[in-house]
Amino acid sequence: MKIAIVGSGYVGLVTGVCLSDFGHEVVCVDTDQSKIEALERGEIPIYEPGLAELVKTNVASGRLSFTTDLAQAVPVADVVFIAVGTPSRRGDGHADLRYVYAVARELADAVSGFTVVVTKSTVPVGTGDEVAHIIATANPDADVTVVSNPEFLREGAAIEDFKRPDRIVVGIEDERARAVMSEVYRPLYLNKSPLMFTTRRTAELIKYAANAFLAMKITFINEIADLCEAAGGDVQEVARGIGLDNRIGSKFLHAGPGYGGSCFPKDTVALVKIAQDFGSPMRLVETTVSINEQRKRAMSRKVIAACGGDVRGKTIGVLGLTFKPNTDDMREAPSIDIIQGLLDKGARVVAYDPQGMVGAREIIENIEFASNSYAVADKADALVLVTEWDEFRSLDLGRVAAAMKSPVLVDLRNVYSAQEATKHGFEYVSIGRPVGVDGKPRPGEAAV
């Protein structure tokens, strides 16, 4: 099939590359000339494991190409995916749909013959109706049907998620779209990936409902972690104990500094606004948003407490800046609020991240960057592990402790155990586990 992807950001690029790898002829369209030129040179604007190799392979095969000319790419396409950004609208938190609607207006003049237009962007319920209306108004003769096909890609594992999905949700209002979308995803039938057809509005809601539920799950285990610290429990054992229940499941039950990234923060806020507009408020999601925002800042207070209540003039090393490992995405990363909280209290912050330092320089002021994991620890008064990159999981703790001015380790991802850390002389603090600031078990409790 001939497919055009409008928008060559994270979702658009991954979608286009994977569909071309399925054997379709794909053209990725973007208004950013420099981005398109870079992609044509084989330079990838985002960090996603395995993506560069797939781009190279499929460009070489002739199945994948890049252009800024929508009017050239769309008329020959059987399917056109809209994959532009839908950021939170400044001031009110609603999803900003200006880019989606602008593409719809441009598509209206470019389509030729029967065309399936697919909203891949995360959009509020009813957006597909408006896209259809825009196209029909601008070009009454256009033979177009609009489909909702939300993405469920995890940054850092997007290619695997696209090629081996839990489900493929397709919202249609025209039965002609069923055959077309079935053909788009036909290569996945060998993996028995469930192709779920539903109405367009239902598909739009599925995306928001999924992200909100996962965000609530993260927030729930974070609150349980706080209770564990107060009551002397172990959040990792609690998470395992409830996660073994098939009704609950073990995923997204890892206590930490709060969720971040490009999806959960904006999508939970957008769902709250959508629900309010329909007069059906979602109190659980509202509370989730509030708790998560407060938690990020609370993590800086946790670090300050581990340093004796005062970090003025002290050097704090930070391991990890991106909101999760295996990405360069700094959007809504917990590290931003944690570092700002430390800076506000007079600390000197030195940070290192395998992929996030370029982006962090544009967001966080007055911090220094180290060249590697061990350089962060040099003469530091405390070390804070914020993002659980693999290289941070196997540090030589003896070497780290020897380099520090005072060996305090605040492990916000529970990567290490108290026994391992204290064996190397650390005062150890973790999340939701029964260990005091001195790294020793509280009376009557066993070390983790």
The low-confidence residues of the chain, meaning pLDDT below 70, are: 191, 435-448
Closest of 240, 200, 208, 246 to residue 224, by C-alpha:
240
Start and end residues for every CATH 3.40.50.720 domain found in the chain: 2-198, 235-429
Burial 73-106 (b: 16+ CB within 10 A, else e): bbbebbbbbbbbbbebbeeebbbbbebbbebbeb
Closest of 351, 280, 300, 342 to residue 322, by C-alpha:
351
Residue with tokens 């020897």: 402
Q: 3-state class of 441 per DSSP?
A: strand
Provide the whole-model pTM: 0.91
Closest of 148, 79, 75 to residue 111, by C-alpha:
75
pLDDT tens digits, 391-406: 999 999 999 999 999 9
407, 218, 393, 381: CA torsion to nearest 10: -20
What pLDDT, on the 0 to 100 scale, is given for residue 439?
A: 46
The full DSSP string for 50-73 is THHHHHHHHHHHTSEEEES-HHHH
- Give the angle subtended at the CA of 268 by the CAs of 265 and 269, to the nearest 5°: 85
Residue with tokens 């909203």: 119
What pLDDT, on the 0 to 100 scale, is given for residue 90?
A: 82
Residue type for 266, please? K
What pLDDT, on the 0 to 100 scale, is given for residue 189?
A: 81
Inter-CA distances, 239 with 250, 349, 425, 447, Å:
7, 32, 28, 18
pLDDT tens digits, 61-101: 999 999 999 999 999 999 999 999 999 888 788 999 999 99
Where in 93-214 does DSSP place strands (E)?
115-119, 144-148, 168-171, 195-198
- Give the angle subtended at the CA of 311 by the CAs of 309 and 314, to the nearest 5°: 145
Where in 125-260 does DSSP place strands (E)?
144-148, 168-171, 195-198
What pLDDT, on the 0 to 100 scale, is given for residue 435?
A: 58
Please, are residues 405 and 377 in contact by the beta-carbon 8 Å criterion? Answer: no
Torsion sign across C-alpha atoms 124, 129, 130, 135: positive
What pLDDT, on the 0 to 100 scale, is given for residue 89?
A: 87
Please, are residues 36 and 67 in contact by the beta-carbon 8 Å criterion? Answer: yes
Going by the DSSP 8-state scheme, the letter that residue 253 receives in this structure is -
Can you say how many angstroms the Cα of residue 278 is from the centroid of all Cα atoms in its chain?
Answer: 27
Inter-CA distances, 56 with 81, 92, 187, 220, Å:
22, 41, 20, 42
Burial 226-235 (b: 16+ CB within 10 A, else e): bebbeeebbb
Torsion sign across C-alpha atoms 419, 423, 426, 427: positive
CATH of domain 235-429: 3.40.50.720
Closest of 203, 212, 197 to residue 126, by C-alpha:
203
Please, are residues 49 and 59 in contact by the beta-carbon 8 Å criterion? Answer: no
| Architecture of the domain made up of 2-198 | 3-Layer(aba) Sandwich (3.40)
| Residue 155, Cβ density class (10 Å: 0-12 exposed, 13-18 middle, ≥19 buried) | buried
Please give the positions annotated as active site.
263
Inter-CA distances, 62 with 16, 29, 57, 148, 187, Å:
13, 16, 9, 28, 19
